Amino acid sequence: MAASAGDVDRISALPDDLLHLILGFVRDAKSVVRTATLSRRWRRFVDWVLAQRGDADLESLSISFSRSSLVYTSQEKVNGLLRYAMQRVVKSFRLALPVLRVRATSSSSPLRVDGPLAVVLPDHGRMTSISLSLKARYRIQLPVSASAMYEALTELKLTNVSFFGDEDDCSAAGRTLGDFVSSCCPRLRKLDLLLLKGLAQLAIRSETLETFKLRSAEDLRVLDVAAPNLGVLELHDCFGDGSDDVDNDEHVTVARTRIIVSSSRLQEIGIRHLYWWCRRPDLEIQDLTSVCRISSLRVNMHGQYYDRATDVGFWLLEKCPSVEHLDVELEHQPSPSSVIEGHHHVIADLTLEDAAPFASVRSMDITMSAHQFQDCQLVSSIFALLLKCPRLRSLSIRIVDEDAATSWMPMPRKCFFCDDQYAWTDHRAISLESLEDVRLIGFGGADEDMDLVRLLFSSSKNSIKSMTLEEITKTSGTVSLKRMTAEDDDGTETIDQKLMNIPAVDRGRWHFGDAIYTWTC
């Protein structure tokens, strides 16, 4: 092109027949939409395609904006597509808006990013599944009309959704999320909420809700769910205190939060508290006797001790007498010095004789980060937990040996549990006479690894049928176990020889693989 021609859009000048021929060679709609970056004339191609369908229904529709396309898309355009979807889609609809970092500098720009923009959910929808991810500067506005109804909706997922608050200048913020779910979704079975902002209270009343997942809702202070058919409940990283400074010299006063859940059919539950230095929220969950599985449970242990005032994990275990499977994330997190000095802790010992066992637990998966326990008792923490599960049959332990320099977790610090006053004092043998299968991922041959293997063999009373030891790394996932056959520090015994000398291993034999040691009875 001649320099005098400037930024000429030659594609827009092509005849319609030729444009249609070009588009006919494009395989899918996603690729077609990308052509809008080549020509201003094609930017309304999606509108043209939808218009050609007339009143025909769509089974599924997924709309995902790129950052560049969102700059040229107005709030009215987004809501227009939303209205079209609610009228035509009969099964699943998904809308995803990206993080918008482009700031409007000209009044001619269609998208204004100076304040919150409203994604308005229409009064009626026909589909059975809705997924909205609003990562831009949008706020969701739920329908106001008393006749609003999503009668066919069975699944609703909201991700990165913000709600209009008192600080937002919006005169018609719509109804609350709880009111929408309770009043407008009579057939809703699954509700999945992730990364919510501006939601302080959530009250749900539903006769049909079966699965409820709420993750990362730090602004939430009151949760009240009455769902008699609820079977799966997950509450992860919610109810934060709004402070990211764990080293603050002044004690942080946390607003009391409250969780109320009413259900008579809970089968699986997982509650993970976001801030381990804060007192746990007020928990009021009715009838936990039917829960048989606890997932993603985070427990903060310090050898045989834990802090009852801040812990949610053991509180939940004590309330669920029928649990058969546990998925546990074992941590050692020190508390801020200000809280320590204020004596706000209620220290509990899991190894006390009168402590009630988790007698129904049959299988358990444990994940832990080795660098958190480098100055504390990794084996004693596992010991105290296993002591509570005398009928355990299957055990999997994954030790993640992350480099503290690259990990997001802080280096272990001195905490009150590490004092001599709270040193590991219980050396009783564990009775795991039902334990049959053991898997240890992250085995590196360290002294604590060997102590853990000895503990499991000595406590099983010859019940173990198989044990698998596997070494992993962050980079490759698995590595050769040549290091395991290398001599130890004093040069007298190799790691595989140490394993062979563990009592009770003579009942079976070790098999050496490329990255795995397997013992079979």
Q: Residue 71 carries which side chain, given as an amino acid letter?
A: V
Do the strands 129-134 and 138-141 form a parallel or antiparallel pair, or are they unpaired?
Answer: unpaired
Segments in 161-274 forming alpha helices (H): 177-184
- pLDDT of 407 over the 50 cut: no
With tokens 């002294």, the residue in question is: 447
Check residue 401 and give its pLDDT.
67
pLDDT category at 406 given cuts 50, 70, 90 is: very low
Q: What gap in Å lies between CA 183 and CA 110, rounded to an integer?
A: 35
Q: Does residue 293 have a pLDDT over 70?
A: yes
Q: Is the pLDDT of residue 239 over 80?
A: no
**In terms of DSSP H, where are the helices of 333-484?**
337-341, 378-387, 447-460
404 confidence band (pLDDT: 50, 70, 90): very low
The whole-angstrom separation of Cα 133 and Cα 99 is: 10
User: What confidence tens digit (pLDDT) does each residue in 72-118 have?
Assistant: 567 888 898 899 999 999 999 999 987 655 444 444 444 445 567 88
The distance in angstroms from the start CA to the end CA of the chain is 79
Average pLDDT estimate for 23-49: 64
Average per-residue pLDDT for the chain: 77
Number of other CB atoms surrounding residue 93 within 10 Å = 25
Residue-by-residue DSSP string for 175-200: S-HHHHHHHH-TT--EEEEEEEES--
For residues 335-363, give the mean pLDDT.
69
Distance CA 288, CA 267 (A): 8
pLDDT of residue 471: 81
- 347 by Cβ neighbours in 10 Å (0-12 / 13-18 / 19+) ranks as middle
Q: Tell me the per-residue pLDDT of 240-266, one tens digit each, with 9 for 90 and over.
A: 554 443 344 343 344 456 788 888 889
Residue 169's pLDDT is 47
User: Is residue 478 within 8 Å of residue 490, measured between CB atoms?
Assistant: no
| Long-range Cβ contacts of 423-429 (<8 Å, 24+ apart) | 423/303, 424/303, 424/304, 424/377, 424/380, 425/304, 426/304, 426/351, 426/383, 426/384, 428/351, 428/387, 429/458, 429/459
Kindly calculate the radius of gyration of the chain based on its CA atoms and give it in whole angstroms. 29
CA nearest 481: which of 444, 439, 438?
Answer: 444
**8 A C-beta contact, residue 173 and residue 136:** no
**Amino acid occupying residue 62:** S
CB 136 within 8 A of CB 112: no
Burial of 426 (0-12, 13-18, 19+ CB in 10 A): middle
For residue 180, the model assigns a pLDDT of 95
Task: Strand 282-286: give its sheet, edge to edge.
Answer: 201-205, 222-226, 258-262, 282-286
Taking only the tens place, the pLDDT of each residue in 167-191 is 554 444 568 999 999 999 999 999 9
- The pLDDT of 58-82, averaged and rounded, is 78
- Torsion angle of the four alpha carbons 54, 59, 64, 65, in this order, in degrees rounded to the nearest 10: 10
Q: Which residue has the tokens 């790691």?
A: 495
Answer for the pair 393, 434: CB distance below 8 angstroms, yes or no.
yes
Q: What is the pLDDT of residues 473-508, one digit of tens each?
A: 544 444 334 444 444 555 567 778 888 888 877 888
Cα separations in angstroms, 15 against 12, 50, 499: 8, 21, 78
Query: Which of 116-130, 317-331, 368-382 has the lowest average pLDDT?
Result: 368-382
- CA 505/CA 497 separation, integer angstroms: 12
